[in-house]
Structure 1
Amino acid sequence: MTGLLLAALLLGVGATVFMDVVALLQKRLLGIPALNYALVGRWLGHIPGGTLIHKSIGNSSKIRGERILGWIAHYGIGMVFAVTFLALAGQDWLARPTLIPALAFGVTTVLAPFLVLQPGMGAGVAARKTPQPNTARLRSLFAHFSFGLGLWLAGFACSLALQIN
């Protein structure tokens, strides 16, 4: 079980790194801004004080260490998603990673920002309160699609590195 948990954590970090590389390429090549994880940290930092839903997270008071908190949360969530994925897909998937389950799971994870993060940050369910909701939705969907692709690629790396049979 310890080997499977280690593989899941490595899978989560690998998939999240891939997602971030794709976001960086989108920013550099297409001028598409990446999510500001400091705002995620700000949102999380306000929760202990009782504020879960903001009118606009950008107008909410800054939280000390919000950028690092946001990035830690980003990678922590990636690892939790990977553990969940492997619990559903099983160790057999890790021995022979296949694309469709990883992509399907990655796309499914878009429900987290649609139903939790975006409403909490003031953007509404599935970004409905943003100036261009469909653009925001497609960007979120593409980011989570790239996470799924990253799961698949990281699955190959993990299976080779950890010699999983």
Structure 2
Amino acid sequence: MKILLLTVFTGIGATLAMDAWSLLRKALFDLSAPRFDWVGRWLAHMPYGRFWHIHIADAAPIRGEQALGWSAHYLIGILFAGLLPLLAGPSWLDQPTLGPALIIGVATVAAPFLIMQPAMGAGLAARHTAHPWHACWQSLLNHTVFGLGLFVSAWIAKTLFG
């Protein structure tokens, strides 16, 4: 039960760190934030057999898509945090180290590059966007911040619940 509590806290904290980074980059550089309403729209179309879209913005809006997208964002963050005790061992939660957290954080960029962006019409690694390298770089930065957030959140969780 302790591993589950620490993992959930770590995943939520890391996802919050990623979201804080998105707000900061919007304020400092006027870069748009990720569209979790589009993630919700993509997921909401799946029960109807629609897994791939030419452009998700053109798909019919679904009631509750924003809440679904944000909920999925945090659930995915928790699931990715679960990779740390699974791959680095449960003891990682007792003594978090930066290396495994950064490796997991950076590795999670594969999900948008290989699954979400293609399925929502942006192409593999955002190649159908106006600036693919920029989009990829921003995704990589976001997921690196997620990795840093895994490390910091795990230390906070250890301190609070350890």
Pair in the same fold by TM > 0.5: yes
Separation (CA, whole Å) in 1 of partners of 2:140 and 2:80 = 15
2:121 counterpart residue number: 122
Q: Give, in angstroms, the shift of residue 90 of structure 1.
A: 1.6
Unaligned runs of 5+ in 1: none
83-92 or 19-28: bigger deviation? 83-92
Does 2:149 match 1:150? Answer: yes
Query: 2: CA distance between counterparts of 1:30 and 1:98?
Result: 31
Instruction: Give the Cα separation in 1 of the matches to 2:16 and 2:64.
Output: 21
Alignment of 1:1-165 (within 5 A): 2-163=1-162
User: Normalising by structure 1, what TM-score?
Assistant: 0.96
Of 38-47 and 79-88, more deviation after overlay is shown by 79-88
Q: For residue 108 of structure 1, what is the amino acid of its counterpart?
A: A
TM-score by length of 2: 0.98
The C-alpha deviation readout for 1:121-149, integer Å capped at 9, x for no partner, is 00011111111100010011111001000
Listed as ranges, the gaps of 5+ residues in structure 2 are none
Instruction: Kindly report structure 1 stretches of 4+ aligned residues shifted beyond 4 Å.
Output: none
Alpha-carbon distance between aligned partners in 2 of 1:86 and 1:117, rounded to the nearest angstrom: 25
Whole-angstrom CA distance in 2 between matches of 1:151 and 1:73? 18
Coordinate RMSD, CA, aligned = 0.8
Contact 2:12–2:78 (Cα < 8 Å) also in 1: yes
